[in-house]
Chain A
Amino acid sequence: MQLTVWTYEGPPHVGAMRVATGMKGLHYVLHAPQGDTYADLLFTMIERRDHRPPVTYTTFQARDLGKDTAELFQKAARDAYARYTPEAMIVGASCTAELIQDDPAGLAETMGLPCPVIALELPSYSRKENWGASETFYQIVRQLADKERRPAPREGRRPRANLLGPTALGFRHRDDVVEITRLLAALGIDVHVTAPMGSRPTDIVTMGEANFNVLLYPEIGLEAARWLEKTFGQKCTKTVPIGMAATRRFVAEVAEIAGVAVPEDLDAGRMSWWSRSIDSTYLTGKRVFIFGDATHAVAAARIARDELGFEVVGLGCYNREFAREIRDMAKELGVEPLITDDYLEVEEAIAAATPELVLGTQMERHIAKRLRLPCAVISAPVHVQDFPARYSPQMGFEGAQVIFDTWVHPLVMGLEEHLLTMFREDFEFSDAAGPSHLGHGGGHGAVALAEVPEADVAVLEAKPEGWLPDAERELNKIPFFVRGKARRNTERFAAEHGIKAITVETLYEAKAHYAR
C-alpha cells in the first residue's frame, strides 16, 4: 500500500475516458460501482465541455454483487447502444470491477452488438491514467484501422499526415492541434486524421491513407504510432515541437519525411527577438526547477537553458514510463533526475534546490506558493484556469511566444529587481512587498509572512550563533529572493573554513567564493 495525499495521475480507466471523450461516435461502457461517475466532472467542469462524456457506467451496488453484475453489464451495453448508436464501442472495467471478475470483453462478445466492440484490459492496480489512454488509443487503432488502405499516389496532391496523441483533458491539446495543423499547412502538408481528439471510428479506419504520422504526445500516441509504422510503413516524427529550436527541428524533420521544401519566408514569430532584447538580460542564469510529464519537462528544460538562458537546477517527471528521457536530459544538464509520483518528494527537492522559478504542474504551483517562489504551469495535471478561453498553444512558434510570456510573467521584472536592490530601505520597495504585478499592494508582504508555516518560521528565527549583528544587518540588505541562498552559502563557507563568528567580511568572502 502506498500512502497518498495527492496523485499526479488518475486510474487507467480515466485515460480511456479521455480518449473516448475526445472522439466522436464512440461510446465507452464502463463496468464500475456507483460513484465512479465523479470522473465526468473532470470533463464538464475542468475542461468545461458542454456535453456529457460518452460513457455509460453499470453502477453496480453491494446488493448486485454475485450473479447480478454480469447481467447488469450486458443490459447497460445494450441500452447504451440503443440510445447512442455509436460507430464503435469500447468496454472495460474500473478498479472495483476488475476485482469481481466479470469479463466485459467476453460478455460483450456474446451479445452480438451491431458495431465493433473493443475490449480493454486496463490493470488498475499497477498502471495509471497516461498508460490507460495510450493503451486505449492503441487498441482502437489496431482493431479499427483497415489494413488494406494505402495513400493515394502523390502526383498532383499534397502529402498527408495523421496527428497522433491529443485527447480530452490534455494540457493545451486543443490549441496545439490548431497550431501544428497551421504549421504543416504552411509547409504544404495536409492533416489526414487527428486522433484520438476530433476523430470518429470511421476516420480511424482510414488512417493507413496518410503518408506519415506526426506524434504530438508520446505519452498517449507512441504505441499507436509504432503499430502504424509496422503495419503501414508510415514514418513518424520524433521531435515534439515545443520551443523555438524544437519547432525548427520538427519542421526540418517533417520536410524530410514528407519530401517538401521548407519555405524561406516561414514566420517564426517574435520569441527569439524578445529573448535577445536587452530587457531580458536579467533572466540570465535564473535558477529554475522543472517537473511535469516527461515530454513537457524535457522540452521545458531545453527552452529554459537554450532559449531563455536560465540555469536548470532540477528536472523530474511523474510518469515512470518515460523516465529514460528525463534521465538523459538530466545527465546533459548535470542535475540529479527526479522520477517520482510522490509530491512530498518533489517538495523536498524544490526546497533543497532553492530555485528562483518553478515550472511544473498544478501541484508544483501550490508547493511554490508555500515556499513563496514564482511559478508557471507547463504540464498536466492542471486546474480549470489552465483550460483557457483564449488561444494558448505550447507547440510551434506561437507556442514559444505563449511560453515566453507565461514563464517571465511571475518573475520580478528587471527594472523592479534593480529598484528593490537600490532602494531596499524605501518603504514602497520594502523586501516584503514582492513583485508588484502579483501582490495585493502594501499588505501583501505582511499577509504572506503570516502564512509561512510554523516549521519555516522556526528555521528563520533559529539564527546561527555565528552571525554577528553587523553581518546580520548586511545580510538583510540583500534582496529577499536571494537572501536565503546567501545565508546558506555563507554558513556553508563558514563551516568549511572553521569560521565561528560570521562577520561582514565572511559574507563577502563567501560571495566571492561561490561566484561563478
Chain B
Amino acid sequence: MSVAALPLPESRPVLRERGQREVFCGLTGIVWLHRKIQDAFFLVVGSRTCAHLLQSAAGVMVFAEPRFATAIIEERDLAGLADANEELDKVVNRLLLRRPEIRQLFLVGSCPSEVIKIDLKRAAERMNAIHAPRVRVLNYSGSGIETTFTQGEDACLAALVPEMPADDAEQLLIVGALPDVVEDQFLRLFAELGIANVKVLPARRSTHLPGVGKGTRFLLAQPFLGDTGQALEGRGARHLPALFPFGAEGTTAWLEAAATAFGVDPMHFRSVVAPGRERAKRAIARQAEVLRGKSIFFMPDSQLEVPLARFLHDELGMELVEVGTPYLHKSHLAAELKALPADVQLSEGQDVDLQLDRVRAARPDLTVCGLGLANPLEQEGLATKWAIELVFTPVHGFDQAGDLAELFARPLVRRDRLVL
C-alpha cells in the first residue's frame, strides 16, 4: 500500500508499508509471560477468536492448568455495558475461587473489548477494592488493533511500572522477561562485576516487584519495550543505551554499558567477561562455517529482527537482504542501527503480498517468517526459519550465542542432509 521513505537520524531510508499484516497480536505474549510471573493469572476479555488464538499459540501447554483464560463476550454482553461489567465480576470471582494461589490478576484487553469500550481500567480498580490485599488486579491491552506480538509484553510491563514501590537507592534494573537460566547467568555476571544491587522486571513473583526511582539505571534486555522504558523514565529511572545481548559482541557491549555506568574498572570488566566471551566465540565459529556468505531476509514479527540481523551479519558473516520489523523504535535501537551495514534495506510495517514478492525476487538463502508463511515458502524451494522460536528459546547472553546461531544454521544443515 502506501510507501514512504522516512529518514533515520543518520538518514537511513526505511521502507514503510501498510496493508495486510501476517503477525500475531499482543495477546500471544501471555504464553511466555505467565511462565515467568509464577503467581499471576492472565484473563483476556475477548471473543472466541481470542481464546482460539491463545489455544493455537500455546499448543500443548493449554492442558497443564495454565494461568490464563478468556472471558468470552457473548451476545447478551453486547446488549448493555453495565451487564458486561457485572458478568466480568462474576467471572473473576469464580476464577479467584478456583485458583486461590493467584496474587496478581491481569485483565487483558482485546480488539472486541476495546471496540465496545469495556473500561478494564475501571474494572481493575473496582476489583482491587474487593480483592486487595490478597490479589492485585491490573489491566493492559493485548489487542491486535493496538499491539503486535511482543508488544503485549511491553504493555504488561508498562502496567506494572506504576505499581513499583518508590526507591531512590542506586540500583541496576534489567527489563524484559528472560528465561530463568539466562536471567541467572546475567545476575551472576553482574555480581562478579561488583554491581551490588541488581533487580529484574518482571520479577518471578508479583510480591517481589522491584523499587524504582532516581538511583535506578535500567538495561533493556529486549528491543520491544518502548512504553515500559518511557514509563520507567517517568519514574525517574535512566536508560542505559546499548546493543542488545545477542552474541559475543552484543552481550559484551550490553554488560559494558552497565559496567561503565556503575564505575566498574575496565581491567576487571575484561577479566570477568573474557571466559564467557571466548566460549561464545568458539560456539559461534562452528555455526559460521554453515552461515558465512548466506543471505537472509527477515519478515516482521517480534522487533528482535534488527539486533538479530546485526548479530548474524557481524559475528556470522551473513548477508542481509531486508530486515523487516513490525515497529522500529529508533532511540532504543540507535546502537544496533549504527552497527548495521549502510546498504541494508530496512522496512517497518508490512503489506505481506508485496513483501513476499520481494522475497521471491531476492531468493534469499534463508527467510525468517511466521508459521503461516514458512511451509508455503518451503514448498516454493525457499529455506525458512520460523520466527516464534526465537522468542520461546533461550537466546540471550554468552552461553546461548551458539544455540542462537544454530537456530539459523539448522534449516540449512537439514536441507543439505535430506535425500528425498
Contacts and interface: CB of A to CB of B under 8 A. Distances in A.
6 closest cross-chain pairs (CB), A and B: A35-B25, A35-B144, A40-B372, A50-B379, A366-B63, A96-B111
B116 interface: yes
Contacts of B52: 7, 10-11, 14, 39
Contacts of A36: 25, 49, 144
A95 B91 contact: no
B55 A7 contact: yes
Interface in A29-85: 33-42, 44-45, 48-52, 56-62, 64-65, 75-76, 79, 83
Given A2-B72, A100-B115, A126-B74, 12 more contacts: A1-B84, A3-B71, A4-B51, A4-B72, A7-B48, A7-B52, A11-B47, A40-B372, A49-B376, A99-B78, A99-B112, A370-B63
Interface in A95-142: 95-96, 99-100, 123-126, 128
A94 interface: yes
Contact of B145 (A6, A34, A83, A370): A34
B66 A41 contact: no
Contact of A96 (B71, B84, B87, B115): B115
B63 A363 contact: yes
Interface in B114-160: 114-116, 143-146, 148
A149 B373 CA distance: 40
B111 A35 contact: yes
Contacts of A56: 20
Interface residues of B, number: 63
Nearest to B62: A6
A383 interface: yes
A60 B22 contact: no
Contacts of B75: 123, 125-126
Given A3-B71, A95-B47, A35 B353 contact: no
Nearest to B326: A34
Most buried by A among B53, B60, B148: B53
A282 B74 CA distance: 48
B56 A41 contact: yes
Contacts of A128: 48
B94 interface: yes
B357 to A, nearest CB: 10
A5 interface: yes
17 contacts: A2-B72, A2-B74, A3-B72, A3-B94, A11-B52, A33-B111, A35-B111, A35-B144, A38-B57, A41-B370, A44-B371, A52-B372, A56-B20, A65-B145, A96-B115, A125-B75, A125-B78
B88 interface: yes
A254 B324 CA distance: 56
B95 A58 contact: no
Contact of B375 (A48, A95, A123): A48
Interface residues of A, number: 56
B153 to A, nearest CB: 15
B77 interface: yes
Interface in A339-369: 363, 366
Contacts of B47: 11, 95-96, 124-125
Interface in A1-21: 1-7, 9-11, 13-14
Given A4-B51, A33-B145, A100-B115, A50 B378 contact: yes
B415 to A, nearest CB: 16
Interface string A286-301: 0000000000000000
Given A4-B70, A125-B74, A126-B75, A37 B19 contact: no
Interface in B84-106: 84, 87-88, 90-91, 94-95
Contacts of A57: 20-21
A83 B62 contact: no
Contacts of A60: 145
A78 to B, nearest CB: 11
A9 B52 CA distance: 8
A317 B392 CA distance: 35
Interface in B344-383: 353, 370-376, 378-379
Contact of B48 (A3, A76, A124, A383): A124
A125 B95 CA distance: 22
B373 A52 contact: yes
